[in-house]
């Protein structure tokens, strides 16, 4: 019987060793799993940040491309504005002289040219005599003394019409301001 007791205690010892080896390996596996989960979480975070950054890049480049298309013709339109000014002066002169029958072709060309510029986004800046002067949208070329206080700081005359392409001012209206 003594041998049986010894065997049993030996079996218990080996079983305890197996259990302790099993718990050690389970602890090791748990630590490795925790490490892997942590690494996976970090990689997920990196992926989400990279994806968000790429989406922002796509939005920004799309916005820049749209803006480029809007203003791509700006240089051409800027070079055409002096021609439009000349047309406006000539048209105004014809209206003052009253001889419009001989110059109907001229007026037709002026209207087509004006329409073509408008269809490409060129808009005359609305400035009226008597409006309050605003340094952000007007260019004062001179100031003249006024007889009444109500005309101080107001636009007395418009020398050149201003133009804008979409929301961007490409030529400021040149005005005379009362002081």
Same domain for 27 and 68, yes or no, is: yes
Same domain for 62 and 127, yes or no, is: no
Q: What is the pTM of this model?
A: 0.57
Residue range of the domain that includes 13: 1-72
Same domain for 66 and 77, yes or no, is: no
* CATH number for 164: 2.30.22.10
Same domain for 67 and 15, yes or no, is: yes
Q: Is the pLDDT of residue 104 over 70?
A: yes
**Angle value at C-alpha 75, between 159 and 170, nearest 5 degrees:** 40
Same domain for 12 and 67, yes or no, is: yes
Same domain for 4 and 66, yes or no, is: yes
Among 15-29, 36-50, 53-67, 113-127, whose mean pLDDT is lowest? 15-29
Query: Cα 141 to chain center, whole Å?
Result: 32
Q: Is the pLDDT of residue 94 over 70?
A: yes
More confident residue, 98 or 173: 173
d(CA 103, CA 90): 10
168 Cβ partners below 8 Å, 6+ apart?
Answer: 71, 74
Closest CA to 162 of 173, 151, 153: 173
What domain count does the chain have?
3
Instruction: Kindly report, residue by residue over 30-46, the tens digit of the pLDDT.
Output: 999 999 999 999 999 99
Instruction: Kindly report, residue by residue over 47-92, the tens digit of the pLDDT.
Output: 999 999 999 999 999 999 888 877 777 888 888 899 999 988 888 8
Query: CA distances (Å), 29 to each of 17, 19, 55, 98, 145, in order?
Result: 18, 15, 38, 100, 91
Same domain for 34 and 97, yes or no, is: no
Q: Where are the beta strands (DSSP E) in 9-161?
A: 122-124, 139-144, 155-160
Predicted confidence at residue 41, as pLDDT, reads 95
Predicted confidence at residue 12, as pLDDT, reads 58
Q: On the CB side of 106, how many CA atoms lie within 13 Å of its CA?
A: 16
Same domain for 107 and 137, yes or no, is: no
Q: What is the mean pLDDT of the chain?
A: 84
């Amino acid at each position: 019987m003594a041998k049986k007791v010894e065997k049993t205690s030996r079996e218990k010892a080996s079983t305890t060793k197996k259990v302790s080896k099993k718990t050690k390996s389970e602890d090791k596996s748990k630590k490795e799993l925790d490490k892997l989960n942590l690494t996976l979480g970090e990689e997920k975070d990196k992926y989400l940040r990279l994806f968000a950054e790429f989406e922002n890049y796509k939005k920004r480049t799309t916005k820049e491309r749209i803006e480029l298309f809007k203003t791509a013709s700006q240089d051409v339109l800027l070079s055409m504005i002096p021609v439009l000014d000349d047309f406006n002066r000539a048209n105004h002169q014809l209206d003052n002289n009253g001889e419009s029958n001989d110059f109907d072709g001229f007026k037709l060309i002026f209207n087509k040219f004006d329409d073509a510029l408008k269809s490409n986004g060129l808009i005359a800046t609305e400035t009226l005599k008597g409006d309050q002067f605003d340094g952000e949208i007007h260019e004062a070329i001179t100031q003249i003394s006024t007889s009444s206080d109500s005309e101080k700081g107001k636009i007395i005359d418009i020398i050149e019409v201003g133009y804008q392409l979409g929301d961007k001012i490409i030529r400021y209206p040149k005005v005379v301001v009362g002081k």
